Amino acid sequence: MATLAFRYGMGIILAVVGALSVILNGLLFFVCLKRNRLRTPPRYFLISLAVVDIVAVFGWLSLTIVSLFNDGWILPSEVCKLQEYTVSLCLYINSHSFLLLAFERCLLFVRPSKHREIFINTVVLIVILALWAFDGTLSAFPYFGWGTVSYFSNQFQCAMDYEKNIREMNFVTVMCFGIPITICLGLYLFIFITIRKIKKREDDDGALIVERNRKAIGDSYSQRLKNQQHKFQNAGTKAIKPNIGKKFTYTEDGYISNDSSDDENTQKSVNKDAQKQTVQQKKVYHMAKNDALLTKTYVIMTFLVFLLWLPYLVVTYIFVKDRYANISDEVMFMLVFLCQCSTLVKPVVYVTYNGYFRKHVIKLLRGKRVKQTDTESDGQTDPRGYDNLAVEQ
């Protein structure tokens, strides 16, 4: 059994961690919603992570603190199941949100035009709601009879009793660690290889070119209809045979013209429309200066959270194989404490590596607005607020 000094000491430390987690995650949530330039679709995933961390503090950490100070579980059994549900929900949403963040970063560097098309308000909100519904259902499996919830005195928390259902443990391991870690690792390796290639593509001004796209999403709907009309306006008509008696010349753009003033004016109009269509569709996507830095921030967040959870996973498998393994209560709780610190590490990493976010926090506290000409952001140059895109038409 853990000593009294250990229980009270860890209870105080865990209370501090929980308080800091609520403050920093609440600050991240409030600033991203309050500042228009931070309220962008890709950042909705960060807001979702902040919400689940705050839920974890009240539904997980706080109940563990109560157990530490009382040396056991004194609350109803329904609250015990609620704590286990919160732990599972936190783990599922963190793992799957990191996977979505990796996909968002990868699409940004590979096909920014598609990134602008996919990561819009409606799509991202639907994805987040679907994520919460899916992970909430997976976390409720013990309520459906698959798995048993028990209170573990050496962990001072309620958790899944995997000794009674090893299949449930293997399922959680694959869904929360195996698939997300493998895909995130592959995507981030691909991103850094892509960044090395992008650094070799520069325009005349020295800006790094991510993509040259002639048919990118971004033109107005009416203009796209006009482009389709120009494309098919002469479909099915007979080709006009040239008048042999007139002199033909070629314009600089390669179009045929003759001496007839009417034909010449008509051809000039067609040339003008064709040039206008090309200018409106051609887009060059440049890499903003903070793109790579924000990607590294996500990598660090992902790596640290999985690193904090992996020791607990390993020891759990050890206990499944040998329930009498020689691991002290203090060591076991320290592994649980590392998992609980994952609620704090994400906002700390994001605030530390994102100077633009800190600038918005200071200006929000001072009650000032960020100038619209300020371009020192996560690449936010698009008026609709897409993250890390610089577009030249």
User: In the β-sheet with 209-213, what is the strand arrangement from edge to edge?
Assistant: 209-213, 283-286, 390-392
Read off the pLDDT band of 199 (50, 70, 90): confident
- Please tell me the distance from the alpha carbon of residue 20 to that of residue 15, in angstroms, as a whole number: 9
Tens-digit pLDDT profile for residues 140-177 = 888 777 778 889 888 999 988 877 778 888 999 999 99
Candidate from 34-38, 118-122, 161-165, 339-343 with smallest mean pLDDT = 34-38
pLDDT at position 216 = 47
- C-alpha distances (whole Å) from 21 to each of 3, 41, 195, 343, 356 are 27, 23, 33, 6, 21
- Of residues 252 and 234, the one with the higher pLDDT is 234
DSSP secondary-structure letter at 42? G
Cβ–Cβ under 8 Å, residues 60 and 87:
yes
Instruction: Please report the pLDDT score of residue 282 as a whole number.
Output: 58
* Neighbouring-strand partners of residue 89: none
Per-domain residue ranges of the chain:
4-205+287-392, 215-231+241-281
pLDDT at position 91: 94
Q: At what angle do helices 44-56 and 342-353 cross, to 10 degrees?
A: 140
Cβ 165 vs Cβ 127: under 8 Å: no
Is the confidence at residue 316, as pLDDT, over 50?
A: yes
Q: What angle do CA 128, 129, 131 make, to 5 degrees?
A: 60
Point out the least confidently predicted range of 126-130, 177-181, 196-200. Answer: 196-200
How far is C-alpha 133 from the geometric centre of its chain's CA atoms? 17
Q: Please determine, for residue 9, whether its predicted confidence score (pLDDT) is greater than 90.
A: yes
Specify the CATH architecture of the domain 4-205+287-392: Up-down Bundle (1.20)
- Rounded Cα–Cα distance for residues 255 and 265 (Å): 13
Of 95-99, 188-192, 212-216, 331-335, the least confident:
212-216
Residue 62 amino acid letter: S
pLDDT digits (tens, 9 = 90+) for 86-137: 999 999 999 999 999 999 999 988 888 888 888 888 999 999 999 999 999 9
